[in-house]
Amino acid sequence: MELILKNDVENLGFTDDLVSVKNGYGRNYLIPNGHAVLATPSAKKVLAETLKQRSYKEKKIIDDAQKEADKLNGLELKITAKSGEGDKLFGSISNANLAESLEKEGITLDKKFISIAGGTIKRTGKYDAKIRFHRAVVVDFAFDVISEAK
């Protein structure tokens, strides 16, 4: 079943992508929840026109996203957390904590655009995250999790 996405769908595609999915997934989830519409010939023509018009605006959006991404260059972020014996943390550090720390540095991002390698962090040390500012601008970002001074 061919569908045109109306929203970004995790592990499937971005808005206005033409995707092919199994019938049940399309009929029972994507279409009823408003995430997609059927890719009829007329809908494909409308999509082509929309994409053509958007391509002009897209360049400025990508440039703005790249400027935001450039702010991360040279930024050394240290997230402090309470820890127990050794390097084990009480609780964990997630993408929400990283988004909050970046906000303090002046970089506003939604937590859903941050993906930490391995999911949540349970120990102190150096970690990497992929931060998506735009579908064409994805940055690898290294940060430290350090123990809170007692």
Q: What average pLDDT does range 108-125 have in this prediction?
A: 87
The CATH number covering residue 23 comes to 3.40.5.10
Same domain for 90 and 111? yes
* Average pLDDT along the chain: 88
Cα separations (Å) of 115 from 26, 128, 139? 26, 9, 11
Same domain for 75 and 138? yes
Most confident of 14-28, 61-75, 115-129: 14-28
* Count of domains for the chain: 2
d(CA 140, CA 110): 16
- Specify which residues 142 forms β-bridges with: 128
Q: What is the pLDDT of residue 2?
A: 94
**Could you tell me the residue range of the domain that residue 137 belongs to?**
70-147
Q: What is the pLDDT of residues 26-70, one digit of tens each?
A: 999 999 999 999 999 999 999 998 888 888 788 888 888 888 888
Same domain for 105 and 49? no
Per-residue pLDDT at 150 exceeds 70: no
Same domain for 96 and 139? yes
Residue 97 domain flag: yes
Residue 65 domain flag: no
Residue 73 token pair: 């260059």
Residue 84 domain flag: yes
Same domain for 135 and 77? yes
Whether the CA torsion 9, 10, 13, 14 is positive or negative: it is positive
Q: What average pLDDT does range 102-111 have in this prediction?
A: 87
Same domain for 48 and 114? no
Sequence-ordered alpha helix ranges (H) in the chain: 23-25, 41-70, 95-104
The CATH number covering residue 125 comes to 3.10.430.100
Same domain for 48 and 76? no
Same domain for 12 and 39? yes
Q: What is the pLDDT of residue 60?
A: 85
In terms of C-beta density within 10 A (0-12 exposed, 13-18 middle, 19 or more buried), how is residue 67 classed? exposed
pLDDT band, very low/low/confident/very high, at 23 (cuts 50, 70, 90)? very high
21 C-beta neighbours (distance < 10 Å), count: 18
Nearest residue to 125 (alpha-carbon basis) of 142, 108, 112, 110: 142
Residue 17 domain flag: yes
Task: Give the alpha-carbon dihedral of 37, 38, 44, 45, to 10 degrees.
Answer: -80
d(CA 59, CA 136): 10
